[in-house]
Structure formats: C-alpha cells, structure tokens
Structure 1
C-alpha cells in the first residue's frame, strides 16, 4: 500500500512539474503544434471568402448600413473570440492571429477596391435601379431578393402614395434605398395595402389601368384578361391620379 501511495505521489509531482513548465506555452498556443498557426491563417482566409460569398448571395439587405465585407468581418470576429476564451486546449495566440488576419484581409480588400474599381464591384456589388419612371423592374427586384411589399413599405415611409410620384429608386451596394421623386407626378399604382385602399382616400383615374405587379399602364380601353406588356401579369386596377 505504501509503495502504491508513493508511486501515485511521484506521478502527481511529475505531472505538476510538467504543467508548471508548459503552462505558459499552453496558455499561448494551447495543445496544438506550432505548425498549426500557419494552418489557422489559411483557414481564416478560406472562411472569410466563403462567408463573403454567402452574404453576397443572400442579398444586399443583409448588410444594412455596413458593406458586405465589413459585415463578414463582424460575424467572423464574434466566432473568433469565443473559442480562445472558453476552450482549454485553444491558446489565445491562435485567436489573436485570426483577428490580425481578418484585419489584414479587410484592409487588403479596401485597398484593392481603391486601386481597382472592378475588385470593389466583385466584393461589394453595385447599385441597381428598382423603380424607373413609376414602374417596377421585376427582374432587378428578383435578383436583389426584394419583394413588392418590402419596397412599398420603404416608399410609404417617405410619404409616397403611388408609383407615379417616383422617378427612381436605387438599392445601393450597402443595402440602403435612394429614392428620387418625379418632378411632375403621373398616374400610378397605389402602394397602400389592399385592405387600406378606400376610394375616398385616393382619387382614382378611371380612364387608365395599371398592372398590380409592376405598375405599368395598360392604356384605354382595357380588355379583361389582357396581359401586361412588361411582366405579363393579368391583374390590373385603376391608376391613382397625380
């Protein structure tokens, strides 16, 4: 029994000594070999590019006021700081290295955008016209994952009642909307919800019909079942007078 107890004490002292000697090294790099630090740089670069690609595919509205690359950095930073603080076998030096890598990538993309506008268009995207002279561009809205309800909500916040009041609506690369009102409003599609379109609130132009999907005018007279020449929709309603 005494021999077993002595052996246990020796092993405990040896493990304690090794822990004390290697504690600082484990604090910095964890239990991974030093070569793993180079792999971290490669992993960080690959994940950054993948995250940037996914955010671009999800649409500009995911970015809000941030650019796509800035949002990618912010999301990545949130994931970076958690593991070094909570996982015993992960050293803080690895997390710091990834943070520096993210900073270098972001600065690199910014510098590349300054030197080459083409690079900025690839990484950030470009603005798109969603409304042109009171008519929705259905293809551009589909490409930007913007629905009619989402766009109309933005227009209502600007006090606009129908599309005839709008000259241009751009969705910027940052996901924000730029709205330009028409100098001389024309008849157009109401942007109020269907249940909020009482005849007494908006004066309808009974001589002109507009497509309920894109706002294109149908002309007079309008034949039932006639399709829109712009989007081929068959649902029309009277235009709202300017």
Structure 2
C-alpha cells in the first residue's frame, strides 16, 4: 500500500457510478430517520428522552452502514427501523401505563435552586458542571442565584426558573464568567460573600474565610443583590 495514494483515498477500487449509489443510499437513510421521527411524533431534538436518544443513535449507526458500505443490503436496514419503531411504541406505552417505569426511564424533574441557593441533595446527586450550568442561567437572564426563587432541572436537561420579584431579590452567588467575578479563600474586604459551591451567603470580615457551614467548601465570591433586568 502506498501512503497518500489519492486514487485509493478518493474512490479506491469502486467505479465512479458507485457515488450515485452512495447518494441513493444516503437519501434512503435520511428519509428513514425522518420518517421515524415523524411517526414517533417528535418535533425537535430537545424533546428527546434518554431512551429516544439511544434509539436515534442506533438509527444513525444503521443509516451510516447502509449509506457507505456496498455489501449492506437495504431490506435488513428496513427491518432494523421497523424493530426500533415497535420497541419505541411498546416502551412509550409501558411508560404511560406505569408511572414508576416512566420515572425510571426518563427520570423526574429535580429542584436544583431553592430560595437563591443550590439544593444540596440534588447538587450531590447530579453530575453538573458549574460552567455549563452557569451558562444556562445566563442565557435566561440570570446574573446571580439571589434572583432565583426556584430552579427546576427538567428530565430533558432544560432548567425552568421562577424568579423573585425585584424588591425581594436576595444576595446571591454571581453566575458571570470567572473574568467578571473574584473567587478567594481569604477575603480582602468586609462584606457579604457567597459560597462558590452551594451559594450560601454569609458576612465575612477582612482576613476571614474557611469552610462553608453548609457544604464545607472553602472558595468564596462577593455576593451581589442586583435586581433582575426586565
């Protein structure tokens, strides 16, 4: 084998007309996945449950095989799609009949923010990146946790937020990027500081720090009570 052989890299031993067959196979796979989504009643990817993501990934694998491999016939792929559709219908039917099974398959909404602070049991039970979660909050107009009365982590990964009225806004942990907030272990001026892990707010004097009484973490950021812009 010769390295960087353009003929092998571009088409190998296949005839040029095989490109037309690839186009036909890719079109078939595209229409099959589209038909599955239409029949299943899905309108968008953000509505997919964990089970549905698994189904779509399996469909994608089958679609990729039939698109590129000349020795993969079409009818077995049709059977794969039919089987997955039957499994999908059976699973959704079982989820509707059994709330316990449905909760096991999709999970339940969880309170992640309560009264301007993280809900610790939920925080410890979920693998959430602070940066990614803060980005989600910023996209919904949140500057700090003290603006949020209740935050619910939905089963599809979205965050539903319920806000305090402007005159009820509390001091809270800033969710701005690191360049816009200072994080310290020992404070350099008197004031209210929020724990960078759980959002607990307490008054600290110059030179103080130490573990948070709520979660025992040792990183603090100056708390803010700026009302939410409307």
Q: TM-score range by the shorter chain?
A: 0.5 to 0.7
Q: Distance in 2 between matches of 1:221 and 1:166?
A: 26
Aligned-residue offset at 1:194: 2.9
Deviations 1:204-223 (A, max 9, x none): x9542221222102246687
Match of 2:113 among 131, 141, 147: 131
| Shift in CA distance, 112/194, structure 1 to aligned 2, threshold 3 Å | same
Superposed counterparts of 1:1-242, under 5 Å? 64-84=46-66, 86-87=68-69, 89-183=71-165, 184-197=168-181, 207-219=191-203, 224-242=208-226
Q: Distance in 2 between matches of 1:135 and 1:117?
A: 30
Aligned-residue offset at 1:186: 0.7
Q: Distance in 2 between matches of 1:75 and 1:113?
A: 21
Q: Distance in 2 between matches of 1:116 and 1:144?
A: 25
| Shift in CA distance, 141/88, structure 1 to aligned 2, threshold 3 Å | same
Residue 47 of structure 2: SS of its match in structure 1?
coil
Unaligned runs of 5+ in 1: 1-62, 199-204
Q: Distance in 2 between matches of 1:212 and 1:85?
A: 49
Does the CA-based 8 Å contact 2:112-2:118 persist in structure 1?
yes
Return the TM-score normalized by structure 2: 0.66
* Greater Rg by CA: 1
The two structures, once aligned, show a CA RMSD in angstroms of 2.6
Aligned-residue offset at 1:172: 0.7
Q: Distance in 1 between matches of 2:130 and 2:78?
A: 44
| Shift in CA distance, 225/77, structure 1 to aligned 2, threshold 3 Å | same
Residue 141 of structure 2: SS of its match in structure 1?
coil
Q: Distance in 2 between matches of 1:99 and 1:116?
A: 25
Unaligned runs of 5+ in 2: 1-44, 183-188
Deviations 1:128-164 (A, max 9, x none): 2221111123553353321111111111112221111
Q: Distance in 1 between matches of 2:90 and 2:119?
A: 35
